[in-house]
Structure 1
Amino acid sequence: MRAAIVEPVGGHGGMDYYDFGLCEALSKAGIEATLYTCDETSWRSRAFGVEIPYRGVFGAAPAWLRGLRHLRGTVRALVGARLKGARISHFHFFHVGPLELFGVLLARSLGMRVVVTAHDVQPFVERLSVPWMAARAYRMAARVIAQGRTAEKELGALLDVPASRIDVVPHGSYLPFVGEAPARGAARARLGLPEEARVLLFFGQIKAVKGLDLLIRAMPRVLREHPDTVLLVAGKAWKDDLRRYRAQIEALGIAESCVLHTRYIPDEDVAAYYAAADVVVLPYRRIYQSGVLLMAMSHGRPVVASDLPGMTEVVSDGVTGYLFAAGNAQALAARLAGVLGEDGELRRTAQRALRYVEEHHDWERIGAMTAACYRSALKG
């Protein structure tokens, strides 16, 4: 069976880990997969094909031009895949607008069966999605993959996707990409962090829904109880204004305890950030599933996360991580202040989390589940 994995973001936004994990796993499940992605993605694999039809779709070019390039990329991807005999087109949606709907319509017109992974059922920036387009795109999909029960419920409630067409397939771990972790001291020296500090890491794209402002508001209490704490923010802003976070830090008088690496973190530097961290904090206001959560657990780092349904499907409080009341900066501060004084328990929690992702987020299992989804799509 041949399948086209159409995922334009790739290395532009950290989706390359997910794409490569999925395609590698599909190849082990007997699927001849080809990834169609953007020109910011680099790869080293012989197990699956990679093609780069989405050139120049990100960057400083005018939006209309990038849109045209995106349409051109979709045509090249799907027509090329169909000529190679692909019968499955597998899209990955964070929102649905004209470009995404066009892809589904074109795949259907070429006689391909459409599979959609709903990374975000509803977008976290509302203007990115057009409700009627989202509803139509999902209606035309032969199968829809939800990465957890929270997304499964919302697909039915918000987009009217029948339960009979939804497959729950978890997000894969980052274990295949972790490698040998650098020593903590070396990682901190590389990142310019104090050797003896307690480091809280906020990692990944900075979006309003990810609650960085809550973490900053929690810092004064954390610093009163643990004065050697450093907040390390690593990632670039996405449709968010960094100035408001800088102003908040200055207003609270905690600038000396905050290190802001507000840029894209290349793959070769990721391990250093996790090795340098004592705790990874995910104070999200909304989420369906979190790649950063699984990345932290895969790197053996303990997590403190909001008690949202998308988090609690993975994090068991006090077992595989720590939870706090979502949206409550005081609750976050109290939880952080408490766990930072428990070094031994933090290590044990991280070890339990690592075992959890090994068992429940294994890519080979996910590849087999996705291949079964493809077979169902072809029968439908």
Structure 2
Amino acid sequence: MDDRLHLVMVEPNGSGGLIHYAYQLCTALAEEGVDVTLVTGREYELADLPHNFTVNNVLDLWPLFEAGRSEEIRLGRWRRLWRKVFRTLRRGVRAVRLIRAWLLLVRYLLRLHPDVVLFSKINFPFEAFFLAYLRRRGLFLSQICHEFELRESRWGALESLVARLYASVYPNFSALFFHAKENRQRFLALYPRISPERMFLIPHGNSEWLLRLPMSVTPDELRERYGLSVDDRVVLFFGLLAPSKGLEDLLDAFALARRDCDAKLVIAGYPTKHMDMVALQERIDTLGLRKDVILDTRYIPLDEVGALMGLASVVVYPYRSGTQSGALQVAYIFGRPVVVTRVGGLPEAVEDGKSGFLVPPRSPEALADRIVTLVNDPALAKRMGDYARHLAETRFSWQTVARKILDVYDSLLSRAR
């Protein structure tokens, strides 16, 4: 008889940062002796990587990253308007597909009846109905609280109502995991009826797995593609492009920094539906930065991430709001110093003056000052980058994350017996 803990992790998105997180966590939990199954979408982008756990990619949803999205900046006004209308109509179809996926998931979990179910981000308040049903049927539910606020979506007059509806989601979880004390405190302020005894802190794991991927392009080849010279120093933003990421502040800061340092700015990442790329390009032009800013708005292939990090003198995360950042862990594991704003749980991941610099949000002057410091002092940037790599390999190791999660499960499940 197999007496191992049987855990099912549910991550509907088959591509992007959350499935990367799920893959690494499932790997670490399996290394600790857990019988792990990952349930995800049909378009599972990591299928070719080694797995020490079971993958069931049965959720028939939709691609998170659309091929044409990054090209919209080049479209005319009417074609952009038509695409907006099309996406609005498409939401109804996707709602039906999501409900079907939940019905399949519920049947699967009740048939399997694992010891623990671990969910990722819950995107819609109506999903509370399915969670409540699973809980009533005796399943132990838990969640990694990557995000719990309406950070990008704008519901207008309905926003407070939608926020209240989300309050029905979280009572269904016996354990809620947060990546920072600040995030837990913010959650408590939003949902005071949830007992703090259900809330647990874990580190955000590193991105060590990226080091094992073969690179399809070298940093020098990427320089040539971007039109950079061998001597150009690079300030890098890497990650999804969204209003909360503070890209306008970064552009303003870079315009100031260019007075005191010689560098190029590379903004690399896929624009979310909330990001106005036309306005961003107009801001670049208004600041006179067209020749100094490179926009790579693809979903960056995994085998190009190493080369992209290899270009960077400093990686900047100028967020206006947020909880944590998986992209920050990418910079750390590749040994790059960071400049990060003091929002959400980010200050708890950065040792100011050691792995990078912390600055106030919405402060282009402070951001520019720290960018200049690192661009003009390669020796300091190297020391900070080395320490960032050290943090990734120690404090943010997945073994540490897995053991903390298992300690929580051991305690809660033993109480329930």
Q: Which amino acid is 1:64 matched to?
A: G
Q: CA deviation at 1:196?
A: 0.9
Greater CA deviation, 173-182 or 156-165?
A: 173-182
TM-score by length of 2: 0.85
2:26 maps to 1:23? yes
2:59 aligns with one of 50, 54, 61: 54
2 CA distance for matches of 1:316 and 1:261? 29
Matched residue of 1:352: which SS?
A: helix
Give unpaired runs (5+ residues) of structure 1.
Answer: none
Greater CA deviation, 72-81 or 141-150?
A: 72-81
Q: Which amino acid is 2:135 matched to?
A: R
2 CA distance for matches of 1:299 and 1:360? 15
1:349 aligns with one of 384, 402, 415: 384
Q: CA deviation at 1:190?
A: 4.8
1:122 aligns with one of 128, 133, 149: 149
Q: Is the 8 A contact 2:239 2:270 kept in 1?
A: yes
Matched residue of 1:316: which SS?
A: coil
Matched residue of 2:58: which SS?
A: strand
Residues 143-184 of structure 1, C-alpha deviation per residue, up to 9 Å, x if partnerless?
111111111112222112222111111111001222377764
Equivalent residue number for residue 138 of structure 1? 170
2:397 aligns with one of 362, 372, 378: 362
1 CA distance for matches of 2:358 and 2:164? 36
Equivalent residue number for residue 87 of structure 1? 115
Greater CA deviation, 341-350 or 161-170?
A: 161-170
Residues 205-244 of structure 1, C-alpha deviation per residue, up to 9 Å, x if partnerless?
11111000001111222212223x1111111111111111
Q: Is the 8 A contact 2:8 2:39 kept in 1?
A: yes
2:264 maps to 1:230? yes
Matched residue of 1:240: which SS?
A: coil
2 CA distance for matches of 1:273 and 1:94? 31
Equivalent residue number for residue 94 of structure 2? 66
Distance 1:171 1:156, change over 3 A: same
Equivalent residue number for residue 211 of structure 1? 246
2 CA distance for matches of 1:45 and 1:34? 14
Equivalent residue number for residue 373 of structure 2? 338
Distance 1:103 1:233, change over 3 A: farther
Residues paired across the two proteins, number: 377
1:45 aligns with one of 50, 54, 57: 50
2 CA distance for matches of 1:344 and 1:54? 48
1:104 aligns with one of 128, 131, 141: 131
2 CA distance for matches of 1:50 and 1:196? 45
Residues 40-91 of structure 1, C-alpha deviation per residue, up to 9 Å, x if partnerless?
3232333111112222334668112212212222222332233223132211
Q: Is the 8 A contact 1:297 1:354 kept in 2?
A: yes
2:277 aligns with one of 235, 242, 248: 242
2 CA distance for matches of 1:30 and 1:82? 23
Distance 1:262 1:119, change over 3 A: same
TM-score by length of 1: 0.93
Equivalent residue number for residue 308 of structure 2? 273
Greater CA deviation, 172-181 or 47-56?
A: 172-181
2 CA distance for matches of 1:347 and 1:286? 28
Greater CA deviation, 21-30 or 306-315?
A: 306-315
Matched residue of 2:291: which SS?
A: helix
2:228 maps to 1:193? yes
Distance 1:155 1:148, change over 3 A: same
Give unpaired runs (5+ residues) of structure 2.
Answer: 67-86
Residues 314-347 of structure 1, C-alpha deviation per residue, up to 9 Å, x if partnerless?
1111111112221111111122112211100100
Q: Which amino acid is 1:155 matched to?
A: F
Equivalent residue number for residue 253 of structure 1? 288
Q: Is the 8 A contact 1:147 1:170 kept in 2?
A: yes
Residues 71-128 of structure 1, C-alpha deviation per residue, up to 9 Å, x if partnerless?
2222223322332231322111264422x32341242243211101111231312447
2:194 maps to 1:159? no
Give identity over the alignment, percent. 27
2:36 aligns with one of 33, 36, 39: 33
CA RMSD of aligned residues (A): 2.0
